[in-house]
Structure 1
Amino acid sequence: MSSKPVPLGNIVLVILAAGGAKRMGEPKQLLPWQGKTLIEYAIEKALEVHVKNVVVVLGANHSVIKNEIKNYPVEIIVNSEWNRGLGSSISRAVSNLMYVVPNFDGAMFVLADQPFVTSEYLKQMLEHFQPNSKQILTTNYNDGKLGVPTIFDYCYFEELSNLSEDKGANTIIKKYGNFVLSLDAPFENMDIDTKEDYERALKIISKK
């Protein structure tokens, strides 16, 4: 008899998927990718990591997207203020974690529109994460910026819950730079924001 995978730490994985995709012109969460939609693909990668909980934050078009993912074993949170930007979705998720499901060691944040992020890389991040050390783990971008996927220690939950801008958690990352460890991802860390991005991503995946 097979046993269930052991969670890699007391971590919650949060998929941020609330944006209105104005530059795309349609809900990018539902774009086809590898026989699924982008949001389904992101959820399945997250579930492969075997963290304690997976949370999906929806906002724009949440009714149709929620119906698309209703059969996955994830918690769905709707951010009614999604148009205020990424920070509001992080705040909404963390506020829920603090007061509804407490006692996590930390939270990992990923974006639904980064399909080249692998579950292997997310596991690698968890292996580097040291709970109760004020650590922030980020991912290096090609332009030298730090970003998602990111893991925040629980000690930052209060500040994360107060975010409201479209800059995500960059202000917190800069504020606590001494506690930041950044990893180089073994893939192109691109966001799919426009039709051109999507077409380029499809070309890349077709060559693999």
Structure 2
Amino acid sequence: MSIPAFPAIAAVIAAAGFSRRMGRFKQLLPWGDSTVIRTVVNNLHAAGADPIVCVTGHRADEVAAALDGSPARTVHNPHYTTGEMLTSYQAGIAAIHNSQFTIHNSLFCGSLLVLADQPHISVDIIRQVIAQARSTPDRIVIPSHQMRRGHPIYLPRCLWAELLALPVDASLRQLLNRHSAEIVYVGVDTDAIRRDMDEWGEYEKLRGEFETQ
């Protein structure tokens, strides 16, 4: 295993959902010459995140197969049927915290928390978040556009235990609000950080914009 840049920053992708509103399993939808989930992984890898943990649930075997040969490792979220994204982030952070995927655990400063349906977020934006996180490793880092938060979110290692202790009916937002004074915002010039593809029309629009770039 190669040693990542330091301080090392992991990435946890919440990819366990059912895609109920979409009506199709969005993680495996086409994106460019790849799929949505594999593009998310490739962008994180290009930006320098390591390791990359993709948390699966619904159709886990298919997601794992789609990521075969990619830089990502998969972890199954046994609580994915609750529909709460928090449980996926907890499963991924727990795997990293327990050194399941890396011999460099003591050198981590934190992890990106990533949505599985944002393949349109550029490598450059992810790099900006990572750069800020390395400058302020004990602070939460969130990209923002016109004073509105987006993803990916950097959660410092000093808050991992608090994340893992949250009850299943809690949310990531509660933790962020509790530590609002510790957030560093990275301003970006695109609303891509706030857009996702919960519905088919959103996917078609984002994919169309991507293909015309």
Secondary structure in structure 2 of the residue aligned to 1:126: helix
Whole-Å separation in 1 of the counterparts to 2:203 and 2:136: 39
Q: How many residues align?
A: 204
Aligned: 1:154 with 2:152: no
Alignment CA distance shift 1:6-1:12 (3 Å) = closer
Aligned: 1:126 with 2:130: yes
Instruction: Report if aligned partners of 1:133, 1:153 keep a CA contact under 8 Å in 2.
Output: yes
Q: Which amino acid aligns with 2:199?
A: T
Secondary structure in structure 1 of the residue aligned to 2:65: helix
Whole-Å separation in 1 of the counterparts to 2:145 and 2:44: 21
Residue 168 of structure 1, CA deviation? 4.2
Tell me what 1:94 maps to: 93
More helix by share: 2
Tell me what 1:56 maps to: 54
Tell me what 1:171 maps to: 174
Secondary structure in structure 2 of the residue aligned to 1:67: helix
Alignment CA distance shift 1:159-1:53 (3 Å) = same
- Unaligned 5+ segments in structure 1 are none
Instruction: Report if aligned partners of 1:8, 1:49 keep a CA contact under 8 Å in 2.
Output: no
Q: Which amino acid aligns with 2:189?
A: P
- Unaligned 5+ segments in structure 2 are none
Tell me what 1:193 maps to: 198
Instruction: Report if aligned partners of 1:88, 1:163 keep a CA contact under 8 Å in 2.
Output: no
Alignment CA distance shift 1:33-1:182 (3 Å) = same
Aligned residue runs from structure 1 range 58-97, under 5 A: 58-84=56-82, 85-97=84-96
Alignment CA distance shift 1:164-1:65 (3 Å) = farther
Whole-Å separation in 1 of the counterparts to 2:85 and 2:48: 25
Alignment CA distance shift 1:163-1:89 (3 Å) = farther
Whole-Å separation in 2 of the counterparts to 1:152 and 1:121: 16
Whole-Å separation in 2 of the counterparts to 1:74 and 1:173: 26
Instruction: Report if aligned partners of 1:86, 1:167 keep a CA contact under 8 Å in 2.
Output: no
**Could you tell me the TM-score, scaled by structure 2's length?**
0.86
Q: Which amino acid aligns with 1:114?
A: Q
Residue 9 of structure 1, CA deviation? 2.6
Tell me what 1:26 maps to: 24
Whole-Å separation in 2 of the counterparts to 1:206 and 1:152: 32
1:3-61 deviation digits (Å, cap 9, x = unpaired): x8952531111122111100111210001011110011111111102233111111111
Secondary structure in structure 2 of the residue aligned to 1:77: strand
Q: Which amino acid aligns with 1:135?
A: R
**Could you tell me the TM-score, scaled by structure 1's length?**
0.88
Superposed CA RMSD? 2.2
Residue 139 of structure 1, CA deviation? 2.1
Whole-Å separation in 2 of the counterparts to 1:52 and 1:202: 27
Q: Which amino acid aligns with 1:63?
A: D
Instruction: Report if aligned partners of 2:42, 2:71 keep a CA contact under 8 Å in 1.
Output: no
Residue 199 of structure 1, CA deviation? 1.4
Corresponding residue to 1:137 among 136, 141, 153: 141
Whole-Å separation in 2 of the counterparts to 1:179 and 1:119: 25
